[in-house]
Amino acid sequence: MNQISADQARPLAAFAASLRADWDQPGILKALSDNRLRGDVHQLTDATLRAVRDPQAKTPAAIGWDRYWPTATLPRERRFCTEPDHELYTLPCRECRAEQIARESQPRELPPPAPRPESTRPRSDRSGVSA
């Protein structure tokens, strides 16, 4: 992931401060630093500009609000397996996966072999001795 550098953060903070007179540049730099690991430089820039446009965002700390970030960068809700005795496993459930692998690795019943075609040689030539 391409994280924002200090050289990139300073002009972004200056730009955001020019759009929001009530936000100070050191506070914006702090918010950028606090959120730099949350996404790449493009996602952080997008979140910053969304926060700048929102009148409900009263401080630069709003850059970290979930509503400004793409959903792929948000922590996922942990879901648990619903099978009996698997409730402690998060999805994908390792027990269910193990059962699936075991089912797939069981030998399958093979179809009966196809009948062999009859030879086209006359019966008298089947002795195997050539003349």
Q: What's the distance, Cα to Cα, between the start and end of the chain in Å? A: 79
58 lies in the same domain as 24 = yes
Question: Position 75: which residue type?
Answer: P
C-alpha–C-alpha distance, residues 22 and 9, integer Å: 19
The answer to whether residues 79 and 69 belong to one domain is no
pLDDT above 90 for 89: no
On whether both 34 and 67 belong to a single domain, the answer is yes
**pLDDT tens digits for range 95-123:** 777 777 777 777 777 778 888 777 666 66
Where in the sequence is the domain holding 55, given as residue range(s)? 7-73
Task: Kindly state the tokens that stand for 88.
Answer: 């402690």
Q: Clarify whether residues 88 and 48 are in a common domain.
A: no
Q: How far is CA 27 from CA 52, 54, 56, 87, in A?
A: 13, 17, 17, 44
pLDDT band for position 126 (50/70/90)?
low
Alpha helix stretches (DSSP H) within the chain: 6-19, 25-34, 41-53, 94-105
pLDDT value at residue 117: 75
